[in-house]
Structure 1
Amino acid sequence: MHWADVIAKKLIEEKKVDKYVVATGITPSGHIHIGNARETLTADAIYKSLKNMDVKAELIFIADTYDPLRKLYPFLPKEFEQYIGMPLSEIPCPEGCCESYAEHFLKPYLESLDNLGIEITTYRADKLYKEGLYDEKIKIALENREKIMEILNKFRSTPLPEDWYPINVVCENCGKLKTKVLKYYSEKEEVYYKCEICGVEGVVKPYKGRAKLPWRVDWPARWSIFNVTIEPMGKDHAAAGGSYDTGVLIAREVYNYEPPKKVVYEWIQLKVGNKAIPMSSSKGVVFAVKDWTYIAHPEILRYLIMRSKPTKHIDFDLKKIPDLVDEYDRLEEFYFNNKDKDDLNEDDLEKIRIYELSTPKIPETKPFVVPYRFCSIIAQLTYNEEKNDVDMERVFEILKRNNYNVENIDEFSLKKLKDRLLMARNWALKYGEKLIIIDENEAKEIYEKLKDKQKEWIKYFAEKLKTAEFDALSLHELIYQTAKDIGLNPRDAFQASYMILLGKKYGPKLGSFLATLGRDFVLRRYSLFD
C-alpha cells in the first residue's frame, strides 16, 4: 500500500470527523523551491487518498504573508534593509511587478500548484488577520498568557521574561512588528505597546491586522480556526520541544482543540558537485518550483515526491533529470500494461498507485514516448532559432530513422512530445551538455592523432556506410560488424567516432546519433580522411 493511503487509512481509524481537513502552507519570504513543494505535494497525496476512500475532505493552503521580513536576504537590494521587521504583505515588490513582496514569491508558486494538478483552497494570513478571523484567538491567548508561558518555558533553557505577552503589535508609525507590549487590559480588550524601533507608544483595539500571534501560538490557533485534522511538517517543527510539541499543548489547554495528526517529512537536498545541500531560500540554495516546467513535465516532480516515503530524504541532482524521467516513463509503461490485471502483488499495486498519484491527468491510452535524453539531442539539432521552436518535420524524419513508428501519434502525445523536446533542450543547455559538433578542420586534426587501427576502421566503415540501411539499429550493428572484420575492439571504434564528431571520447548512443545526424552529413564526415 502506498504511504499516502496508509496515512489516510490510519487517520480515518483514529479520528472520526465529518470532514478531514489537510493543511499545508509556506512563508513567502523568498523563492519557493521544490523542497517546500514536498510539503504541499505530501498534503495533496494524503488528500487524494482520503477522497479515494470516500470520505469528505478538504485541502487548504495558508500562506504566512503576515510574517515579518527577518533579514536582508542575498537576493534583495541593499535598500530593502529598511523593511526588516515589516510584514511581508506590507513590503513593496522587489521587482515592481506584484502588489507586494509576499505576492511576488507566492503568486508563481500558486500558479505552479495548478500545473501540478493540486486542487487547493488558499488563504493569506494578512487577510485573515485584517478580516478579524484571529481576533478571538488573540483575546484567548492574552487571557491565557501565564498558561502559554508555562507551556513554552517547559521547552526553553532560558525562561521567557515575566512581562512577555503572546502577541506582536504592528507599529502604527513605522509598520514594523518589533514592538513591546506594556500592558493588557482585559476588561477593555486593549493592548498598550511601545515600538522598539521608532519609540512610538500606542494602543490597539480592536486588532484586525494591528497585531499578530507569534508562530508557536499562531499555529495551534490556526488549527482550531480551520478544524485541521492532519498536517505535514518539516522535521524542524516536529523535533522534540519544537513548535508542534508546544502547539499540541496550547491547542488542548488554551484553545480546547484536539491537535492534528502530524506527518513529518525530510528535506530535499540539492546536489551541487559532490555535495548534497539542504535547500534554503535565505541562503540562495534553491531550485524554484516555478522553474520546473522549464525542464520537465509537472508529473515528473510529483513522481520525485510520490516514490519516496516522507521520512526519506531526497537528493535532487539537476544533471540526473533524464534518469528521473526514464524512471517515470518505465512506470507509465508498467501502469498501462498491468492496470487491468487482477493478480498483482503488493509491490505491483504500489507501482500502480505511485503512477496514479504522480499523474494528475491520466491519459486513456499509453502515450507515444521518446526518451528525454534522446529528445535533448533531437531538439538541439532541429531547433529553429528564428522561429524559437523545434522543426517537427525534421523531428519526425529523425524518429523514423531511429525506428519509431510516427504514423498514428495522437494529439495528446504530439503535444507532450513537443513540450518534452523543448524542455529537454532547455535542460541540456543549462544543466546537461550542449551538443557541439566539431568542424571538419578540427575533425581532420583529431583523426591524425588516432591509432592506426582506428584510422583503418574509419575508412572501412565509411565505405560500408555507402550501401548501409540508414536507421539506428542497422548502423549499430554495422559499427560492431566492421570493427570485428578488421580485428578492432568495438570500444575503440566508438571512441574514434565520438572524437571525429564531438572532439571527445564519449557521446550519445552512436547508432541513434548517426541516424539522427542524417546520411549526407555522416557520409561526408567519415569520408573526410581519404
Structure 2
Amino acid sequence: MNWPFQEAEKILHTFPDKKEIIFETGYGPSGLPHIGTFGEVFRTTIVVNALKKIAPEIKTKIIAVSDDMDGLRKIPDNVPNQEMLKEHLNKPLTMIPDPFGTDESYGHHMNALFCKFLDLFEFEYEFKSATECYKSGIYDEKLLLLLKNYDKVMEVMLPSFREERQQTYSPFLPICPETSQVLQVPITAINVEKGTIAYKDSHGNTVEVPVTKGRCKLQWKPDWGMRWSAFKVNYEAHGKDLTPSALLSSKICEILEEKPPILFCYEFFLDKEGKKISKSKGNGISIKEWLTYAPMESLALYIFQSPKKAKRLYFDVIPKSTDEYLELVKSYHKQNAEAHLQMREVKPEEQNPVWHIHQGKVPYIETAGINFTLLLNLAATCNAENKEILWGFISTYAPDVTPTNNIVLDKLSGFAVKYYHDFIKPTKSYRTPTAKEENALLDLKSVLQSLSQTASAEEIQAEVFSIGKKHNYSNLRDWFQLLYETLLGQQTGPRMGSFIKLYGISNTISLIENIV
C-alpha cells in the first residue's frame, strides 16, 4: 500500500465517526506561488482521492486559506515596484497597493495568481481569504474563546521563545488605526467581558481595541491552531520546517475545544545549490519553467515520489521524470486493477503512482518506443531548430506515426527542442578520440555499413555491444561513454541501438566519418 492510502487509512482510524473530512492547505501570499505550493495542494488532493476510493460514503472538502492579512515583513526579490512596497512594510497584504498594477491590492493580486494556479491543475478546493474571515466575523467566536483562555495560550507559547521575546509576546496583533500596520506590541490589559485588548501606541497613549471584526489578527502559530478549530480541520500537510510550530498550534487547537488535525510532514524541495526553495527568493524552478520543457504529469510524478525525502528540484531532473512517467503509464495497463490501487502488498516493480496522478483514469499513451531522452539526443545530434526537423526522423522510423495521430509525441518533440536549446546546446563539447578509440569507432562504422537499413533497434544494440567487447572494454559503460562524448558531445546519452535506429544508420555512419 503506497503512502496516500496509508494516510487515508490513518484518517479513518483517527476520525472513525466523521461523515465529512475537512482538509486544509495554506498559502502565504507575500511571494509568488511556486512548486512547493503546488506540491502541498497536490499531495493533499491525492490523499483526498485515496480516501474517496476506500470510503466513498464519506464527504471530503479541501479549504485553501490565504494568509493575506499578514503584515509584509520583507519585500520579495521577484516582484516589481520595490521602492513603493518599502513605504507599506508591516501593513496587511490586502491593504498594500498592487505592485503589478492589475488588482485591488498586493494580497488580491497574489490570491488571484494562487487560484489561477490551482485551477490550472483542476484542483477542487474552497478558497478563503484570511482578511475576509477576520473582518466578516467567521473567526470571532474562536478569537473570543482564545481571549478567554489567554493565559493557557501564553503557557503554550512562551516556552518556545527566548527570554527577551517572552517579555513582549502576545498572540494578538492589533491593526493600527492610524498607520494600518500590523503591530507587534506588548498587551497591557485584556477584558474578556468586553472582548478587548489594550496596548500603548507610539505616543504612549493607551489604546483599547476589540479582538473581533478584523481589528486584530493572531500571530501565525496561534492563527494556525485557531483556523483548525474554526474550520474543524481534520488533515493538513506541511513542510518539515514547520514541525515545531505545528505541535504548538495543535495544543492551541485543543484549547479552542477542537481535536487537532492529522499532520503530514513532507521534506523540502531544494534548488541547484541544495538550498530550500523560497517564494520570496524565487530560486529553484518555477511551475511555468517546468511546463515549458515537459508535461504537467512529469512534475506530478516527481512530487508524488518520496515525500519524506528532500529532493533537488532543478532542470536536470525533468527528462528522467518525464521518461519515468511514460514507463509507468505503459506498465499500468499491464497490471491488474488491484495493483493499480496498491490495496495489498505488491512487488516493488508494481508500485505505480499514475493512478493517483490521473485520479484512476490513466490514459493510454503510445510513443512508438520513443522516449523524451531519445528525442533530446536526436535534437542535439541534428541541432534541431524546431520540432518539424525531429518529425522528419520520426516519420522515417515510424511511418504510420504523425503529429496529428500522436499528439503526445508531438508535444514531447516540442519540449525536447526547447530543452535542447536552453540546456544541452550551451554545454555541448565533443571529445577527440584517441588512436585506439578511432579503431573501435571504425569497426562500428564497418558493422553499421553491413547492416540492413531495416535492422531493428535490438539488432543494432547487439552489434554495438559486440564492438565494445571486441575492443576489450571490460566495463561497457566506458564504451558507451566514448560514443556519447565523441558522437553526441555529451557526458550521458541514450540507448545507442534505439538512437541509431531513430537517427538512421546512414546518418550515424556520417557522424563517425566526421571524427575519424
TM-score clears 0.5: yes
Matched, 1:451 2:435: yes
Q: Aligned pair 1:334/2:369, yes or no?
A: no
Cα separation, 2, equivalents of 1:409 and 1:390: 10
Residue in 2 aligned with 1:4?
4
CA RMSD, Structure 1 to Structure 2 (Å): 4.1
| Bigger mean CA offset, 198-207 vs 40-49 | 198-207
Q: Take 1:457 and 1:161, find their aligned partners in 2: how far apart are those partners?
A: 73
Equivalent residue for 2:119?
114
- Looking at structure 1, the residues matched to 437 and 210 of structure 2 have their Cα atoms a distance apart, in angstroms, of 90
Q: What is the percentage of aligned positions where both structures have the same residue?
A: 24
Which of residues 389, 393, 400 in structure 2 aligns to 1:398? Answer: 393
Which stretch shifts more, 18-27 or 260-269?
Answer: 260-269
Q: Does 1:91 align with 2:96?
A: yes
Name the CA shift for 1:465/1:158 in 2 (closer, same or farther; >3 Å).
Answer: same
| SS in structure 1 of the partner of residue 264 of structure 2 | strand
SS at match of 1:17: coil
1:125 aligns with 2:127: no
Instruction: Give the CA deviation at 1:222.
Output: 0.8
1:428 paired residue number = 420
Question: For 1:292 and 1:29, how far apart are their aligned partners in 2?
Answer: 22
Q: Residues 384 and 417 of structure 2 are in contact (CA less than 8 Å); yes or no, is this contact kept in structure 1?
A: no
Q: Where does 1:152-171 land on structure 2 (aligned, <5 Å)?
A: 152-158=157-163, 165-171=170-176
Q: 2:262 is matched by which residue type in structure 1?
A: K
Question: Counterpart in 2 of 1:13?
Answer: 13
* Cα distance, 1:91 vs structure 2: 2.4
2:268–2:276 Cα contact (<8 Å) kept: yes
CA contact (8 A) 1:300 1:358 kept: no
8 A Cα contact 1:398 1:515, kept in partner: no
Residues 243 and 265 in structure 2, CA contact (< 8 A), matched pair in contact too: yes
Secondary structure in 2 aligned to 1:278?
coil
Q: Assess, with a 3 A threshold, how the Cα gap between structure 1 residues 322 and 11 changes in structure 2: closer, same or farther.
A: same
Q: What are the superposed Cα offsets for residues 133-177 of structure 1, whole Å, 9 maximum, x if unpaired?
A: 222322222333222222223444528667754321222232210
Deviations 1:19-63 (A, max 9, x none): 110111121222333334333222212211221121211111111
SS of residue paired to 1:338: coil
After superposition, the C-alpha distances for 1:102-142 in whole angstroms (9 at most, x for unaligned) are 35445444434334442222212122222222223222223
Aligned to 1:443: none
Does residue 316 of structure 1 match 2:313?
yes
Q: Which residue of 1 aligns with 2:445?
A: 461
Distance in 2 (alpha carbons) for counterparts of 1:488 and 1:136: 79
Q: Secondary structure at the match of 1:37?
A: helix
Alpha carbons of 1:472 and 1:451: their partners in 2 closer, same or farther (altered >3 Å)?
A: farther
Q: CA deviation at 1:337?
A: 0.3
Query: Are the equivalent residues in 2 in contact too, given 1:32–1:106 (CA < 8 A)?
Result: no
Q: Does 2:268 correspond to 1:267?
A: yes
Q: Is the 8 A contact 1:238 1:245 kept in 2?
A: yes
Shift in Å, 1:212: 0.9
Q: How many Å separate the matches in 2 of 1:453 and 1:267?
A: 44
* Aligned partner (choices 190, 194, 216) of residue 211 of structure 1: 216
Structure 1 residue aligned with 2:345: 346
Match of 1:248, as an amino acid? Answer: S
Cα separation, partners in 2 of 1:362 and 1:182, compared to 1, 3 Å: same
Pick closer, same or farther for the CA change 1:506–1:3 going to 2, 3 Å. Answer: closer
Would you say the 8 A contact 1:182–1:193 is kept in 2? Answer: yes
Instruction: Write the distance in 2 (CA, Å) between the matches of 1:167 and 1:360.
Output: 42
Number of residue pairs aligned between Structure 1 and Structure 2: 504
Counterpart position of 1:61 = 64
Match of 2:225 in 1: 220
Change (3 A) 1:500 1:376: closer
Which segments of 5 or more consecutive residues in structure 1 lack a partner in the other structure? 439-445
- The change in CA–CA distance for 1:397 and 1:149 in structure 2 (over 3 A counts) is same
Partner Cα separation in structure 2 for residue 217 and residue 488 of structure 1:
68
- Inter-partner Cα distance in structure 1 for 2:515 and 2:237: 64
Q: Is the 8 A contact 1:24 1:43 kept in 2?
A: yes
